[in-house]
Chains A and B, each alone.
Chain A
Amino acid sequence: MNASGIKLGLGLYTTLFIVFLYGPLVVLAILSFQTGPEGGPQFPIIEWSTYWYKHLFGLTPPSRIAPLPIEQALVRSLALAVMTMIVSTVLGVTAAQAFRKKFRGSGVVFYLIVLGMMVPGVLVGLGMALVANTLGVDRHWWGTAFVLHVVYTFPFAFLVMLAIFNRFDPSVEEAAWSLGVTPARTFRKITFPLIFPGVLSAMLFAFTLSYDEFSRTLFASGRDLTLPLAIYGTFSVEVHPNVFAFGVLTTLFSFALLGTYAVLMGLSVRRAKRMAIQEEA
């Protein structure tokens, strides 16, 4: 095959990839602007309107369609994701730090940690529910489900940090020690700033994985639902475009999150360059 053929193939592949990635989102976004309350979740668009967005925030006159019961679920999911993010990232960083030195049984511990992201979520969730019942522990999103979220996301944070430490030159830490700086302070002033981009990635992983975790949460969260469960719950009744409107909003939120990540990342990477530019100016 010649070069332009390869280019064409790759271009086609990329286009298909993007279509499959964003196609559903685009359909969702279009349908969210369906008129309400009589318009349904299908084409054609009868009339463009922002009715379902208003409906979402309770700004429409009462109708036969109940508002989405997701407000509390959203708060819960965000809180759960933040908690999970913090705990998993801290655990991931410290565990990866521990793995920088070979210790006895490190191989076994490694696979035990990584197993947390491999085992089927439904099974783990069910198992957790059984354990909780046996022990007489109440199931809550902030309890049993939280533990499972950490078990699930911690390996991701751990692997990200492991890759970061792999490329980390330990002689800068030794240099700091030889200047009389304690290991703890060295970690804070030297190691942490240098691994910070990795920490950000680990945080992003943990947050997003927890935020839309479904299978583990299904059995382990008890009575109060998280967002993915609440949305799924609405499907079992009747689907209205307000779910799509909500989907668009959460997607925008995710983009904002990614944007923040990119900005923070860019800042930490560009720091050095900026100093050089000031120097030349």
Chain B
Amino acid sequence: MSAVLQLKNVHKAFAGVPALAGVDAALMDNSYVSLLGPSGSGKTTLLRVIAGFEQPDGGEILFAGRRIDGVPPHERGIGFVFQNFALFPHLSVAQNIAFGLENRAVAPVTDAKAVTARVRDMIGLVGLTGLEDRAVTQISGGQKQRVALARTLVTEPSMVLLDEPLGALDANLRTRMRGELRTIRERCGVTFLHVTGSETEALAMGDTVLVLDRGRIAQATDAGTLYSRPASADVARFLNCYNIFSGAVSGNVFESPVGRLALGGVRQASGRPAYAIRYDRVAIRPRDAAAAGDEVRIEASFVASEYSGAAINSFFTLDDGRVFEVETHLSHAAPEAFEEKARYALVWKREDALVFV
């Protein structure tokens, strides 16, 4: 596998305020890449710069080995799926999908039969059969999403940029489309760069996950590594599955606002010292239970719990008022009833914690 897209130190500022502050990344050919980042981190800006809708202020963009910054969008051969779908409202479903084939500057398909055949295949692939002649104002959100995808894929780009493509869909449909997007991508063999603000979506879909933070790539790795080894406290925070303490390492303990936490596992270099423990690595015990030698123990008051399918998330308040979250998988244990405002011991293994120095 080789890199289809390379970004080198890409910069972009709006009215002096940086939106991209030196983005470096390489996207592998034929892969699914998720781009995760909080709101305002520059995800849309990055995609628009890659597509050519915005010009970068500095840096290089190489696509299939060719430098493309400065090349107009229609000469880049990069597909774009918009969050609001941006379908052509005056054209039918089939006409929307045929538009690129018939009208592109390079190698337009002029034979009506060939267009029809390719549009029909694509409509089959995305599961829109029967809706060919429907106006795009007369179809559901999920169907619009498929038209937007089909319209792009039928022109056979070697890369497709998707800006929160599932954002406008309801939760049910979103889950179903996740699987479909992956299957469709595999069948077409193109690279997808999928922007999302949802960590579960990013982890579920991406072969590679890029984490964007304040205009920089904070981490680029596979989903498993990202989940278990975030590169910094900020990345851990976006993943939404870590309790994070700030503080400082002194010798063999981490001095946190809730007390001294004994250290055991690896320490990672990152700009700011922090201590992170994953929600699902924490056990809830009665207050009087003793901790084993390799365990860390803190105390907190129970607030509430929340079912989310196969897991239950319990919320506690620490002595400094902050919220601490624990995820218990129901396959491991029957749900326990905790008493509101009562104190419990929260315990985890030393080596399960991530320590950033």
Contacts and interface: CB of A to CB of B under 8 A. Distances in A.
A172 B89 CA distance: 9
Contact of A178 (B78, B137, B138): B78
A8 interface: no
B103 A185 contact: yes
Contacts of B141: none
A177 B100 contact: no
Given A175-B82, A179-B104, A179-B155, A272 B99 contact: no
Interface string B110-149: 0000000000000000000000011101100000000010
A272 B103 contact: no
A179 B103 contact: yes
B105 A182 contact: yes
A236 interface: no
B151 interface: yes
B59 to A, nearest CB: 21
A183 interface: yes
B226 to A, nearest CB: 29
Interface stretch (B69-77, B204-212, B228-236): B69-77
A180 interface: yes
Contact of A172 (B73, B79, B88): B88
Nearest to A268: B90
Contacts of A180: 74-75, 77, 100, 104-106, 155
Contact of B90 (A179, A194, A276): A194
Nearest to A276: B138
A171 B74 contact: no
A272 B79 contact: no
A280 B103 CA distance: 29
Nearest to A182: B105
A189 B88 CA distance: 10
The residue among A180, A183, A273 with the most chain B CB atoms within 10 A of its own CB is A180
Interface string A154-191: 00000000000000010110111111111101100110
A185 B102 CA distance: 11
B188 to A, nearest CB: 15
A175 B134 contact: no
Given A179-B104, A182-B74, A171 B133 contact: no
Nearest to B161: A178
A280 to B, nearest CB: 9
B275 interface: no
Contacts of A175: 80, 82, 86-88, 148, 151
A47 interface: no
A183 B155 CA distance: 17
Contacts of B75: 180
Interface string B328-341: 00000000000000
A235 B73 CA distance: 62
A190 B52 CA distance: 19
Contacts of B78: 178
Contacts of A278: 133
Contacts of B99: 176, 179, 181, 189
Given A171-B84, A194-B89, A272-B90, A177 B73 contact: yes
B133 A275 contact: yes
B51 interface: yes
Interface in A8-50: none
A174 B148 CA distance: 13
Q: How large is the interface on B (under 10, 10 to 19, 20 to 34, 35 or more residues)?
A: 35 or more
A272 B74 contact: no
Contacts of A177: 52-53, 72-74
Nearest to B108: A180
A158 B159 CA distance: 39
A170 to B, nearest CB: 9
A272 B133 contact: no
A101 interface: no
A183 B92 CA distance: 21
B301 interface: no
A46 to B, nearest CB: 57
A272 B82 contact: no
Contacts of A273: 135
Given A180-B106, A181-B99, A189-B99, A174 B51 contact: yes
Contacts of A272: 89-90, 135, 137-138
B229 to A, nearest CB: 35
B88 A183 contact: no
Contact of B103 (A169, A172, A181): A181
A185 B148 CA distance: 20
A270 to B, nearest CB: 11
Contact of A179 (B82, B84, B152): B152
Nearest to A185: B103
A279 B133 contact: yes
A83 to B, nearest CB: 30
Contacts of A193: 90
Closest 9 CB pairs of A and B: A179-B100, A180-B104, A171-B86, A177-B73, A178-B80, A272-B135, A175-B86, A177-B74, A276-B138
14 contacts: A174-B80, A176-B99, A176-B100, A178-B80, A179-B104, A180-B75, A181-B99, A181-B105, A182-B74, A183-B72, A272-B89, A275-B133, A276-B138, A279-B138
Given A175-B80, A177-B52, A178-B80, 5 more contacts: A171-B82, A178-B76, A179-B100, A271-B90, A275-B135
